Structure 1
Amino acid sequence: MFMADLEKNYQLEHGLIVKQLNAFINEGYMQAYFRDWGNVTGCKILKNYESEDSKAMGFVRFATGEEADKAEMAGPHFIGGDLAVVLRVVSKKVALDSERVWG
């Protein structure tokens, strides 16, 4: 509802938070999985090695909001054999230094 107003004033990043990932999934696998719905411009997986559950979470960034919407709506997502929780996110685009976070 507010997306059009935000896009008038800011450059936005469009993506997904992916929770409950199998800890053995890597960024290349997740990027290839989501490529079916658009141009994946970044992917990062975070693992908590101190946690007793073996789940990880990840972030996937798309070139456009439409691509991120298509990927979210295509669920449920079974990634590496496990049901993942996928949530749509939008954030303000930040300076090039942020590219180091995405790898």
Structure 2
Amino acid sequence: MSATIFMYLTDYRERSLKDVITQLEPGLFKKVTGLNVKDFELLVSLGVFNSALMNDAVYKFKRYEDASLSYTGISKHKNEDLGLYDTVLSAKDISDSFINEP
């Protein structure tokens, strides 16, 4: 739940969540989750996060968010890179790979 709230609060949508936590918004991450970067890195090193599943979950979360914004008439993230958990999809990769049907 805290990670979801954190994703809603950050503006770095085009960066990977891991980079946002460890480099761009560590203070916000601590405030929202109670964990600091060292705590997060320990959890990562212990294998708590499955990268493939986390990338999939973050992708689906952001697509759901896009659909919600689009429903209200806001299309603010079109043609932008999309940061997942530990990787980033370029806008070109997204447009080449996915068909977005309303």
Q: State the TM-score, normalizing by the size of structure 1.
A: 0.24
Q: State the TM-score, normalizing by the size of structure 2.
A: 0.24
